[in-house]
Structure 1
Amino acid sequence: MREMWIPYAQVEEDWQLIDVRSPGEYAEGTIGEAINLPIFGDELRAEVGTAYKKKSVTEAKRRAVKAVSAQLPELYERFLSIEATGRPIAMFCARGGMRSQSFASLLRAIGHEVFVIEGGYKAYRQHMLQALHTLSGTRRFIVLHGNTGVGKTLILNALEEKGLDVIDIEALAHHRGSMLGRVGLEPQPSQKTFEDRFYRALKNAKSNNLFVEAESKRLGRVNIDDTVLAGMREGLHIYVDAPMWFREQEIVREYTRMEGAKQELLAIMDNFRKHLGNETVDEFVALIQANDYGPVAKVLMERYYDPKYEYTSNQYTYDLKVWVESVEAAAQEILTWYRQSVVKDA
């Protein structure tokens, strides 16, 4: 049987990772698609930590052993179900210490070849952030700019279908980066999970050219890394525009397609009162309650979103400008430009 300890850099893509930290630690951030097989639950972890600080190391270990020994049959059965996939297995805890080392040692003692990632999740985070910074400097971002509702995300999806490398930052963040950015979307990931997702998207790109949408630093409760933002500023820039009828149609489709979106929209309307006044927002509420979303979308674009975006859009010199009435035609125009002006000049 090979040496138990392994640096994360030597873990292959097809390996199955097992995170033995508590559910709370796992929820805050893990390594890619690692499976959570907690040695300690959140309460036990807190209890052991308290015993360690206020009593002694021996007492902390005593409590841990007593609690974990009762869980071993269940932990072992869960491990066997993971092992049955046939993939090599590496475990980790916070720092590659007691939890992962103890469980892996026990499994290896009864004939299972498992590995422990050196330094645990903390070492992985250092590796990942360094790689994120490096990749952000070596990839070339091709950034789509444009007002709300011009179809930037739809165009990105179409470009991805045509085989180009795309990172949908808003999909990674579960946020559209605006006042209505959370409507109809799943809960946002933690900052650590968002960074991990971004790193993997950069790492797994087939080429050095990545299409993204222009974003501000903050998307809800997560922030885009400064090196990513710098890479986006230094990239190529495409300005996307569309007629108001197209934008109104796209805004209504995007913000009403999910179940429960109507109630979310009504709950958020009060946030616009200081920007648009009580009379306008009261009209919005009445229109939404009547399922008449088009006029609301049009006024929001004309009086709120477009004026806010104008300053930012004027900061760039654009390599291409695209008028959108058909997402497919716009994506094809960008693809043609890409092949003739980007790939050809590379």
Structure 2
Amino acid sequence: MLIDPIPSSSYPSIFINDHPLIDVRSPIEFNKGAFPHSCNHYLIHDNERELIGTCYKKHGQAAAINLGHSLIKGELKQQRTDNWLHSLKKKPNAYLYCFRGGLRSQLSQQWLKEAGYSVPYIEGGYKAMRQFLIRSTETISQSQPLLILSGSTGSGKTELLSRRKNTVDLEAIAHHRGSSFGQHYGAQPSQINFENTLAITLLKRQINSPAYLLLEDESYLIGRSAIPKCFYVKMQSANVLVLEETEENRISRIVKEYVINMRKEFIARLGCTNGIEAFQQYLRHGIRQIKKRLGGKLHDELQNALEHACKQHESKNTPDGHRVWIAHLLEQYYDPMYRYQLNKKSHKIIFQGSHQAIHQWLDDNL
């Protein structure tokens, strides 16, 4: 006898507890959007799904099911069953899901039952779970008070967030630091995956009924990841804390994060020679991204200073030359833009101060 499906009432605990999931949809479906702690071991591959879908449209469900059984049998059926079994050996309490919690989930469950494993599938599948997360973001956006942490580039906002509870690091979820130099090695998540992870993070933060959630001040787009409109609107109406930091410390922090650490990351991924070249291209790309806003003269000045710093970095093994173009970029571009944006939010500022002062204010008031 097959196990009853996991009901939709279990969705919150599935996501809050990072319950392991086996996604039996095709790779193209999984890559478009899935859930954290899910792995893709498909029942039917992309080309098979296309053939079965065409058959369904022309000849109906029964013909499509028969075609599926004729396509996936014998060694191929065993291979896909073995993939599920391999995953279950690592995470024996995993649940299955397909798109709607229908035939693919039931068939996968049946094959596993034949192999001696009783594995439940999730009612409603991916579509219903995705809708649950969308509604969760909307609901939490309406009910949860937010505080926005603002501060000039390099002031250490992410660092402050990492030392507090009740925070949401949108840049970590987007795998991007939110500036023209903000990309990490490796791609950002798909928009759907960004939204799914944000929703799950918000659900987890609600467990202790926090008085507020603290977030870094962000634009609507973090790289290519768009903050859900309902949540972004709530962010725009929230009170603001302003983190103050000396210019010297800001430059040092930027050099460490965007130069020293990024260079190490590229080298670790690509090897020394290719990593250094890719790292330098990353810096050049960051300046090119804002060329129109910089203007030709300033862009050329920064580009020349960058090239000099890169040569010095490799010939003398010191990143100090990067402080020159970074200081110039802050003074001529990022700081004026920050002051302009902050001025528009001046009526929402409720406190400003150093790292220590912000921590103390949060401890005393919330």
2:143 partner amino acid: T
The answer for the alignment partner of 1:47 in structure 2 is 51
Question: Is 2:3–2:118's contact at 8 Å kept on the other side of the alignment?
Answer: no
Q: 2:329 matched to 1:300?
A: yes
Q: 2:257 matched to 1:226?
A: no
Question: Is 2:18–2:37's contact at 8 Å kept on the other side of the alignment?
Answer: no
Percentage of identical aligned residues: 31
**Greater Cα shift, 25-34 or 135-144:** 135-144
Please give the per-residue CA displacement for 1:271-320, whole angstroms capped at 9, x wherever unaligned: 33322233332232232223232222122222222222223212142222
Q: Distance in 2 between matches of 1:60 and 1:300?
A: 60
Q: TM-score, normalised by structure 2?
A: 0.82
The answer for the alignment partner of 1:335 in structure 2 is 359
Q: 2:138 matched to 1:114?
A: no
CA RMSD across the alignment: 2.3
The answer for the alignment partner of 2:107 in structure 1 is 102
Unaligned runs of 5+ in 2: 267-277, 311-320
Question: Is 2:3–2:119's contact at 8 Å kept on the other side of the alignment?
Answer: no
Q: Distance in 2 between matches of 1:86 and 1:305?
A: 47
1:67 partner amino acid: L
> Are residues 90 and 44 of structure 1, via their aligned partners in 2, closer, same or farther at CA, if it must alter by over 3 Å?
same
Q: Which has the higher helix share?
A: 2
The answer for the alignment partner of 1:310 in structure 2 is 339
After TM superposition, give the deviation of residue 6 of structure 1 in Å.
2.3
Matched residue SS, 2:213:
strand
The answer for the alignment partner of 1:169 in structure 2 is 170
1:201 partner amino acid: T
Question: Is 1:15–1:87's contact at 8 Å kept on the other side of the alignment?
Answer: no
After TM superposition, give the deviation of residue 194 of structure 1 in Å.
0.6
Q: Distance in 1 between matches of 2:25 and 2:68?
A: 13
Matched residue SS, 2:42:
coil
Q: Distance in 2 between matches of 1:146 and 1:86?
A: 43
The answer for the alignment partner of 1:192 in structure 2 is 192
Q: Distance in 2 between matches of 1:221 and 1:276?
A: 21
Q: Distance in 2 between matches of 1:120 and 1:76?
A: 19
Please give the per-residue CA displacement for 1:68-90, whole angstroms capped at 9, x wherever unaligned: 22422222222223333464332
Q: 2:257 matched to 1:254?
A: yes
After TM superposition, give the deviation of residue 185 of structure 1 in Å.
3.8
The answer for the alignment partner of 1:326 in structure 2 is none
Please give the per-residue CA displacement for 1:3-51, whole angstroms capped at 9, x wherever unaligned: 4222233254364311001112112211231121111222222232233
Aligned pair count reads: 330
The answer for the alignment partner of 2:82 in structure 1 is 77
Please give the per-residue CA displacement for 1:164-197, whole angstroms capped at 9, x wherever unaligned: 2221101100122222222x34311011111111
Q: 2:157 matched to 1:152?
A: yes
2:280 partner amino acid: K
Matched residue SS, 2:35:
coil
The answer for the alignment partner of 2:270 in structure 1 is none
The answer for the alignment partner of 2:272 in structure 1 is none
The answer for the alignment partner of 1:17 in structure 2 is 21
**Greater Cα shift, 37-46 or 83-92:** 83-92
Question: Is 2:95–2:119's contact at 8 Å kept on the other side of the alignment?
Answer: yes
The answer for the alignment partner of 2:133 in structure 1 is 128
Q: Distance in 2 between matches of 1:84 and 1:237?
A: 48
After TM superposition, give the deviation of residue 239 of structure 1 in Å.
0.4
Question: Is 1:136–1:202's contact at 8 Å kept on the other side of the alignment?
Answer: no
After TM superposition, give the deviation of residue 217 of structure 1 in Å.
1.2
The answer for the alignment partner of 1:179 in structure 2 is 180
Unaligned runs of 5+ in 1: 324-329
Q: Distance in 2 between matches of 1:238 and 1:273?
A: 31
